[in-house]
Structure 1
Amino acid sequence: ITLDVGGRLIRALRTTLDRSPRLAKLVERFAVNMQCDGTIFVDADIEVFSHVLSFLRRPDTFPLFWSKATGFDYGLYARVKEEARYFGVKGLVDWIEERGYEKAVKQNVKYEKPVEIK
């Protein structure tokens, strides 16, 4: 099945989309939502939706938005959570609400006592 998400075409298996109640319903009614080119339009932000779709494809793999320089991207987690809630992806919503991402990163902080100069 080809989805048009924000002008970007994404292909996904029907079984993948069926993991989301809202996407499954959209595909069931595909004749209504199908565009002239045979794609199904999904009104979503591709940058956020892509993380939800990745989770639908691999439900045991959660998104990690973290870098050493900036830490966690809490704003992106909030947007992904709301998109997942909209599409009925409970496992992803629960993981974000439980802050599962904080358990996925371990940081070691090394502190060296300053040398005292006399």
Structure 2
Amino acid sequence: MTPSSWDILRRVRGGAGDARRRAQLRAAGVTDGQLRASAYRSPHRGVHAAADEPPTVERRIRDVVPLLPPGGVIGGWAAAYLHGARDLDGLVGGRELPVLVCLPPHRRLRPRPGVRLLRSDLGPRTSPRSAASR
């Protein structure tokens, strides 16, 4: 029996609905023919996910995660949404805002539709409590 796209995505790092890099899926035994089939969608070049997952705000954000290089983080409205600010859904006047990807100055990522890049020194991690006590 051929495993479903969901079964394969579960075996590869992350949850069932998470997008994966093509290389991860190929290492898990997925063929190029399977990736071109209707069971998968490709939200970004080199990234694939199960096609039968309904479109949601969270899915749009999760589709960008495999693109993150070391030190890269999701920012802006998408980060706020993931932290519980559900009113920040990335829509303005019915138009989808790009997902902000924050990169350290030395990291590079190819520009892609639906993704906005920001290179900045992200600095050390601080909690809101430690920043407020300064």
TM-score normalised to structure 2 length = 0.27
Which protein has the bigger helix share? Answer: 1
TM-score normalised to structure 1 length = 0.29
Which protein has the bigger strand share? Answer: 2
Q: Larger Rg: 1 or 2?
A: 1
User: Quick one: higher RCO (CA 8 Å, sep 6+), 1 or 2?
Assistant: 1
